Amino acid sequence: MVLDRYGDYVVIFDADTDVVPVFTAHGQWVGLADNPDAIATLIDIHERVNGGDA
């Protein structure tokens, strides 16, 4: 398991699964990205819905 930072977001990579949990750096749940390629889309949607504030 590996934690990685995407600006104001934290993602958790687990070798046993393709899905990637995404949180804000403050611990707010953002959602599950279906795969690592979908992380940017999930973060973009979260920022659009929440006005860009993580």
Read off the pLDDT of residues 40-54 as tens digits, 9 standing for 90 and up: 999 999 999 987 655
* Token output for 42: 């999930």
* Token output for 39: 């992380």
- In DSSP terms, 31 is beta-bridged to 22
* Confidence (pLDDT) at 22: 97
Nearest to 54 by CA among 5, 3, 12: 5
Please tell me the pTM assigned to this model.
0.86
The string of pLDDT tens digits covering residues 7-37 is 999 999 999 999 999 999 999 999 999 999 9
